[in-house]
Amino acid sequence: MLNPPRNPLTWSTVLKAATIADFDLLRDTRTDIRSLPWTEPSRREAMTYYFGIKRAHEEIIRLNVEITRLLTFMFDTHIDYYHAVRRYIIEDPPLAHSLSRQWQYQDRINESVVGKLIQASQLHGFTGTLSIGLRVGRDKTLSADVPQPQWMLLIRAANVVGHRAGHKDGGEPEIAIDEDDIPREVNVDTDLVVQLVERLSTSENV
């Protein structure tokens, strides 16, 4: 029996060891990688948090763009269905009827999607906007005199509520969040993790 005894081997430990190949094959080579700083579990965990947080920031920026793109696509589709039904209602009534049914079905799906986006917009740390853009090369006049879909009214109502919530005493909107104030599942101070990893990298390069 070893004195002091070694830590018990668990499946989680084996998986973590696999990331640094802590096996006989590399243990007996010219350089024992187990002595390198990056093989320490605490440092590997800090690196995981560090890069996970950086990728999360990038993903938030990307998703804020995709929200507008999605809403723009949904709105353009609504307009296209409207014009298609109006065009064929005289020329080909059966086709117009089929398009109308498909249009209603698509709008119900879009309404469900918008409901999820509105829920996301109410989360603490949300930095995006529920807004409609304009696709490059698309005719702006196509939306003239087109009745808005029901889900557009939901977006407007949510934006009004959010706008009122962002004011204090009738003044300018409060800036309640910033880039670093995002919802996280890990209970860790991200600034400290980033500083720790950067200091480790600096000390190893000296």
Tell me the whole-structure pTM to 2 decimals. 0.62
Express each pLDDT in 74-109 by its tens digit: 999 999 999 999 999 988 999 999 999 999 999 999
Say whether pLDDT at 185 is over 50: no
Say whether pLDDT at 22 is over 70: no
- Residue ranges of alpha helices (H) inside 92-189 are 93-121, 150-165
In this prediction, residue 158 has a pLDDT band, given cuts at 50, 70 and 90, of: confident
- Least confident segment among 75-89, 143-157, 184-198: 184-198
Contacts of 4 by beta carbon, 8 Å cutoff, 6+ apart: none
Cis check: omega of the bond before 4, within 30 degrees of 0 = yes
Question: What is the per-residue pLDDT for 80?
Answer: 93
What SS3 class is residue 167? strand
In this prediction, residue 8 has a pLDDT band, given cuts at 50, 70 and 90, of: confident
What SS3 class is residue 173? strand
Say whether pLDDT at 122 is over 80: yes
Question: What is the per-residue pLDDT for 159?
Answer: 82
Residues 33, 44: contact at Cβ < 8 Å? no
In this prediction, residue 40 has a pLDDT band, given cuts at 50, 70 and 90, of: confident
- Distance in angstroms (rounded) separating the CA atoms of residues 160 and 166: 10
In this prediction, residue 44 has a pLDDT band, given cuts at 50, 70 and 90, of: confident
What SS3 class is residue 7? coil
Say whether pLDDT at 135 is over 70: yes
Domain positions in the chain are: 41-129+141-165
Q: What is the mean pLDDT of residues 189-198?
A: 59
- Least confident segment among 36-45, 97-106, 108-117, 191-200: 191-200
